Amino acid sequence: MLEGFITEAEFKRILALLSKMELAMWHPIMDNHELVAAANKKAHQKRGGNLCAPVPRELGKCGYINELSREKIDRTLDEYKAICLTYPRGGQGIDMHCHDVGLEDPSTVAGEALKGLTDQNTGKANGSTTTSTTNVTSSYNEWIKTTQTDRNVNWQLNVLSEPAQNTANPPNFTQFTLFHEGAEQYAVNNTSLVSKDIQQVAKSTLDSGLFAPCMVGSLESQFLKMQCSIKGAKTVLDVGTFTGMSAIAFAEAVTKDGKVTTLECDEQIAKVAQASINQSAVSSKIDLRVGKATDLMKQLKTQGSTFDIIFLDADKEN
């Protein structure tokens, strides 16, 4: 409407239709102007330097906006939000949940950019005008409780202590992705057994009552070791130690003079990990550091540390 593509009457007609159909006209994530601006920047990069944002140009026709300054983003988002707040539910829709169709909620996978949403006019956190259903967590334990427990309700132990029995013929399995039930277990059964040290990590995790699905497991441990060996890696950064399984797997594969630096934000979990690391045959190769990963990585950069492999297995949503 502001570009003159449609009239004010057409603009109001479109919003009324969206509202009547209970579709989303607004989402709290749009309060994060930084995220919107960043998304536009990515669009420019992918579209050859053009924003190429499709908008109505008369009803039933389409036009495109190529230029959208940061000042205009801030101003028009605030203006548009004020308009949406005059509609039922503050303009929010009654949409199918993404998980119903096998997808993650886009507002949660936006991750760090979603944190601390503020009203751009007041600089304060959003009040009661809109309600977000997003679980933005402040600690590891809260993240496990609000997000990971439901996701892993059908999880089964992913570390074998004995090799799978040989069969007369190859097991019959017609699927080819991990999204099919049984695919991961099939792969685990046909992967070489992990070391006793990695098996001990699994036992310590279960004995400590920690959230075992966070373990990388036999399959991923062996994959990480293989990649490390193929590269001949000497230095590895493991972001997200949990109870130490990936750190030990990497340490078993780095060169004799290699080093694995592993980062864990939770002090209690780090204690469990350190105990397993101390008991392992590769303890001298592992440097466990406790604290916020972003802060620790800045320290490593200041120290001039470089790494052949960086494994990001932390609370990625936060």
In order of 14, 162, 250, 254, the CA distances from 276 in angstroms are 61, 20, 14, 18
- What are the E-state strand segments in 126-246? 235-239
So what's the pLDDT on residue 29?
84
- Please give the pLDDT value at position 114: 42
CA distance 27 to 10: 22
Q: What is the DSSP letter of 123?
A: -
User: Which candidate, 238, 243, 251, 240, places its Cα nearest to that of 203?
Assistant: 243
Give φ, ψ of 238 to 5 degrees: -110, 100
* Token digits of residue 205: 């995790």
Residue 59 confidence (pLDDT): 72
Whether residue 254 contacts residue 233, with contact meaning beta carbons closer than 8 Å, is answered with yes
Report the distance separating Cα 251 and Cα 249, nearest Å.
5
pLDDT of residue 57: 86
- Is CATH 3.50.50.60 what the domain over 193-312 is classified as, yes or no? no
- Distance of CA 265 to CAs 28, 221, 271, 273, 287, Å? 28, 21, 11, 12, 14
- Quote the pLDDT of residue 129: 38
- What radius of gyration, in Å, describes the C-alpha atoms of the chain? 25
pLDDT given at position 109: 58
C-alpha to C-alpha distance for 45 and 21, rounded to whole angstroms: 34
User: Mind listing the pLDDT tens digit of every residue in the chain (318 residues)?
Assistant: 998 999 999 999 999 999 999 888 998 888 888 888 888 888 888 888 888 988 888 778 888 898 889 999 999 999 999 999 999 989 988 865 565 556 666 555 554 444 444 443 344 444 433 333 344 455 666 767 666 777 677 777 778 788 888 888 877 777 666 567 778 888 888 899 999 999 999 999 999 988 888 889 999 999 999 999 999 999 999 999 999 999 999 999 999 999 999 999 999 999 999 999 999 999 999 999 999 999 999 999 999 999 999 999 987 665
- The CATH architecture of the domain made up of 8-128 is Up-down Bundle (1.20)
Structural element, H or E, at residue 199: helix 196-207
Measuring CA to CA, which residue among 39, 117, 29, 33 is closest to residue 78?
Answer: 33
Give the H/E segment covering residue 18. Answer: helix 8-20
Give the residue range(s) of CATH 1.20.1090.10 domains in the chain: 8-128
Do 245 and 216 meet the contact criterion of CB atoms below 8 Å apart? yes
pLDDT for residue 86: 94
Residues of the chain with CATH 3.40.50.150: 193-312
